[in-house]
Amino acid sequence: MNRYSKMLLSLLLTSATALFVCGITTGRAFAVQDEAIEQMTDEEYEAYEAEYEIWETADKETDILKSGTMLFEFLQKNPKSLLVPHAESSYMRLLARCIEEKKYQELLTLAEQWNAFRPGNEDIIRMIVLAAGELKHAEKYLWALEELYKHTTQLDIAKRIAGIYKEEMKNDAKYIEWVEIILKGPGEESNFPLLYDLFHIYSNKKDTARMMEYAPLVLKAIDQLQNPSPDIAKVLPDIRNALHHAIGVMHYNEKKYDDAITYFLRALRDKKYSNGYWMIGNILWEQNRILNARLAFAKAQILGESAEASEEDKAIAPRAKENMEKLHRALQNNTLIGIDRQYTRAREISDEDLIKPMN
C-alpha cells in the first residue's frame, strides 16, 4: 500500500478513537503514529490491515453484546496490536451507550467482562454498581460496592453496604463488620443509631462483654445529641432506661450489687418500671435488708397494677406481691397485719430513700 493510503488509514484511526469515554481511558495514547505504520514491511502491514478490518467490523456492529464480544476477543488475541487503544475506546463507547440507553443487563455483562479482563478500574466498578443496583442483583451490587469502597473509602458507601447487610441480607456478622468500619470514620465515633444497633444485636446474642463495651458508648452518644428530631427525642428515655437496666443486670449477675442498684436507680430516673423495683428488691433481700426489700417489691406491685402499666409491668406485679407478702409475714409472725401501711409508705418513699438504712 502506498504512503498516502497508509496515512489515510492512520487519520481514520485517529478520528475514530480521539474520544475519551467516561474518563476510563484518560492518558492513553490513541493516535497510531504515522512513522510506526511507515516502518512496517508489506507482510507486517498486511497483518495490520487484517487486524484493522476485524476491529472496524466489531466497532460498526450495532448489536451491543455482539460488538462487545468481538472487541473483547480482539483484545485477547491481539494484546500487542497498535489497534489496542482503538479497540479499548470502542468498548468504552459501548459501555457509555448502555448507560445512555439504560440497557443495564448489557452494561452489567460488558462491565463484568472487562473487570475480569483488567480488574480494579474504579469507573468500571461504578458501572457494575449502577447496573447491578438497577437490576436488583443484591450479591453483585454488594460486591461492587465493597470494591468501590476500597478505592474511595467514602463513608456513604460504607453506610450503604452496612444497610444492605442489615435490611436485605439479614447478615449480622457482616453488618457489624461494616458498622465498626464506619465508627472509625471522622465524626462517626458518637453515631448514636449505629452504636445502639450494635448494643441491641449483642443484647440479643447475650454477649455480655460486648454489651458492656457498647452500652456506655451509646449513653455517651445520647448525651452528645444536639437537637434530636421529635421522633428520636420521644424514645430516648426508653433507650436510656433499657441501657441502664442492662448494665444493672450485668452487675447483678456478677454479684456487684451496689453497682447494680446504682444503674437500676438511673434506669428508674429515665422511666418508672416494675422490673427496676423488682431487681432492687431482690438485691436488697440478698443483702438481708428486709425492710427495704419489702418496700421495693411493694413499689413493683403498685406500678404493675396501675392503669398505665405495660404488659411487662403487669407480668411482674403478681411475683412482686408474692415476695412482698412473704417478707411481711416473716416480720409479722406470719400474718398480713399492717400491710396496708407498707403499701402507703411505698407510694410515698422516694427511690433514693428506698435504699437507705431503715429501722
With respect to residue 50, please indicate whether it lies within any of the assigned structural domains. Answer: no
Q: What is the pLDDT of residue 119?
A: 95
CB atoms within 10 A of CB 136: 9
With respect to residue 17, please indicate whether it lies within any of the assigned structural domains. Answer: no
Instruction: Output DSSP code: residue 294.
Output: H
Residue type, 41: T
Distance CA 297, CA 285 (A): 10
Q: Over 60: is that where the pLDDT of 43 sits?
A: yes
Q: Per-residue pLDDT averaged across 94-113, rounded?
A: 97
User: In the predicted model, what is the mean pLDDT of the chain?
Assistant: 89
With respect to residue 128, please indicate whether it lies within any of the assigned structural domains. Answer: no
Write down which residue in 216, 237, 259 finishes a domain: 259
Q: What is the pLDDT of residue 31?
A: 47
Q: What is the pLDDT of residue 6?
A: 40
Residues in the chain: 359
Taking every pair of C-alpha atoms in the chain, what is the biggest distance, in angstroms? 124
Share of the chain above pLDDT 70, in %: 90
Q: Per-residue pLDDT averaged across 102-118, rounded?
A: 97
With respect to residue 334, please indicate whether it lies within any of the assigned structural domains. Answer: yes
C-alpha cell of 52?
Answer: 484493522
How much is the pTM? 0.75
Task: Quick: pLDDT tens for 264-278.
Answer: 999 999 999 999 999
**Are residue 350 and residue 304 in the same domain, yes or no?**
yes
**Are residue 178 and residue 194 in the same domain, yes or no?**
no
Distance CA 294, CA 331 (A): 10
247: left (phi over 0), alpha (psi -120 to 50) or beta: alpha
Q: Over 70: is that where the pLDDT of 148 sits?
A: yes
Q: Are 344 and 352 in contact (CB under 8 A)?
A: no
**Are residue 200 and residue 243 in the same domain, yes or no?**
yes
- What's the pLDDT band for 7 if we cut at 50, 70, 90? very low
Distance CA 64, CA 1 (A): 33
- What's the pLDDT band for 359 if we cut at 50, 70, 90? confident
- CA torsion angle 147 150 155 160 (round to 10): 10
Task: Quick: pLDDT tens for 284-303.
Answer: 999 999 999 999 999 999 99
With respect to residue 90, please indicate whether it lies within any of the assigned structural domains. Answer: no
DSSP H or E segment with residue 273? none
Distance CA 261, CA 197 (A): 25
Task: Give how many domains the chain has, as a whole number.
Answer: 3
Instruction: Output DSSP code: residue 222.
Output: H
> Could you give phi then psi for residue 24, rounded to 5 degrees?
-75, -40
Q: Are 264 and 352 in contact (CB under 8 A)?
A: no
Distance CA 119, CA 313 (A): 59
Task: Quick: pLDDT tens for 232-264.
Answer: 999 999 999 999 999 999 999 999 999 999 999
DSSP assignments along 62-82, one per residue: -SHHHHHHHHHHHHHH-TT-T
Q: What is the pLDDT of residue 26?
A: 37
Q: Over 70: is that where the pLDDT of 23 sits?
A: no
**Are residue 221 and residue 243 in the same domain, yes or no?**
yes
Buried b / exposed e over 280-295, threshold 16 CB at 10 Å, is: bbbbbbeeebeebbbb
Q: Over 50: is that where the pLDDT of 14 sits?
A: no
C-alpha cell of 105?
Answer: 443487563
Distance CA 294, CA 359 (A): 13
Q: What is the pLDDT of residue 236?
A: 94
**Are residue 276 and residue 358 in the same domain, yes or no?**
yes
What is each CA distance from 297 to 77, 260, 321, in whole angstroms?
83, 16, 7
Q: What is the pLDDT of residue 34?
A: 59
Domain residue limits at 175: 155-185
Q: Over 90: is that where the pLDDT of 5 sits?
A: no
- What's the pLDDT band for 20 if we cut at 50, 70, 90? very low
**Are residue 234 and residue 300 in the same domain, yes or no?**
no
Q: What is the pLDDT of residue 18?
A: 39
With respect to residue 111, please indicate whether it lies within any of the assigned structural domains. Answer: no
Q: Over 60: is that where the pLDDT of 10 sits?
A: no
> Position of cell 487484517?
50
Q: What is the pLDDT of residue 46?
A: 87
Q: Over 50: is that where the pLDDT of 281 sits?
A: yes
**Are residue 212 and residue 169 in the same domain, yes or no?**
no
Distance CA 265, CA 223 (A): 18
With respect to residue 125, please indicate whether it lies within any of the assigned structural domains. Answer: no
- What's the pLDDT band for 27 if we cut at 50, 70, 90? very low
Q: Are 122 and 112 in contact (CB under 8 A)?
A: no
Write down which residue in 206, 229, 259 finishes a domain: 259
